[in-house]
Structure 1
Amino acid sequence: MYCSKLFCVIVVLLGYFSVATVDAINCYQCNSHLDPECADLRAHPPHKVAGFHQPCDDTDAEGNPAFCRTMTYKFKFLKKTDLDASRVVRTCGYRRSMKECYIVDNDHHMESVCQCFEDGCNTAQNLSIFSIISTLVIASTLHFIF
């Protein structure tokens, strides 16, 4: 009898400790239109951007797990000197892309989207990739026009 109670306790404890607990991922969540520091988090002291580092919900309504996302928008019809010619939005995401980064060319803006899967990983911008692809798109468009 004693052995079976001990066995039950061990099974319950093993079951309890073998269940992995998942903590929410923490992502930077901000919009450079509202908070200029969001455009380049690494250019500012940690205490200025610490408030942007917030937990995401574990999953969305469909059960998709959270990850971090950075979206960079370049508006086509604004001058580069305009404050809103570009915008950076850092947020939690729940629908993963097949690619780590991708670019979407919409009517009025180009959108660069990157996703990552570790706490606070959405600090960096992939502007060099964005610039290269933007240049290629413009060059190929000009090639077909002329």
Structure 2
Amino acid sequence: MKLTVSSVTTSLVSILFSVKYASSIFCYDCNSAFDPRCGEEFDHFNLGVVNCSLKDPIDHIPPMESTFCRVIKMDIYGKVRVVRKCGYVADDYKMNSCKRQTGTGELFVTYCSCNTDLCNSSSKCDRDLAILSILSLLAVYLFKTSF
């Protein structure tokens, strides 16, 4: 079999495109403010799934490819909003876990990140949030009983 420049070029281009496709991640993309199926009682049926590597770049950050999915749960004065989307800038907490932050007043935000296709459904993030809540309550209980 004789190798030609054309066949080598075609092979290299094919490999490059397959690697690009293989490195993409698929995430749910929705906001419970506009679609209640995106909320805490997540219903993935007919919800938007996006290939994050094909999304337009975000204006407020340097151009980069999304490598993970994210769920952001905001509890603001008792009203809950859930946003599921592609993630671009990794936070300083561990991937495939959640981080809860408290703001002023009654503002609570939970960020969950994961790096497998369609991982930003509610079950994984709810489980992590439940574990985080139980550990927090246990820490408060142990602290109070020790004094």
TM-score normalised over the length of structure 1:
0.65
- Residue segments in structure 1 that go unaligned for 5+ positions in a row: 79-83
Give the counterpart of 2:98 among 95, 102, 109.
102
1:90 matched residue in structure 2: 84
TM-score normalised over the length of structure 2:
0.64
User: Could you tell me whether the CA contact under 8 Å between 1:32 and 1:87 is conserved in 2?
Assistant: yes
2:20 pairs with 1:20: no
* C-alpha separation in 2, matches of 1:74 and 1:134: 15
- Residue segments in structure 2 that go unaligned for 5+ positions in a row: none
* C-alpha separation in 1, matches of 2:17 and 2:53: 17
The worse-fitting range, judged by mean Cα deviation, of 100-109 and 11-20 is 11-20
Identity among equivalent positions (%) equals 23
1:81 matched residue in structure 2: none
Structure 2 SS opposite 1:122: coil
Q: Deviations over 1:37-83 (max 9, x none)?
A: 102334x6x2xx33x223434475333334321222345x53xxxxx
1:123 matched residue in structure 2: 121
| Coordinate RMSD, CA, aligned | 3.1
Q: Give the alignment of 1:1-146 within 5 angstroms.
A: 7-21=4-18, 22-23=20-21, 25-39=25-39, 40-42=41-43, 46=45, 49-50=46-47, 52-58=48-54, 60=57, 61-75=62-76, 77-78=77-78, 84=79, 86-97=80-91, 98-107=94-103, 108-118=107-117, 120-125=118-123, 126-141=125-140, 144=143
> Larger Rg: 1 or 2?
1
* C-alpha separation in 2, matches of 1:63 and 1:143: 44
How far apart are 1:131 and its partner, in Å?
2.0
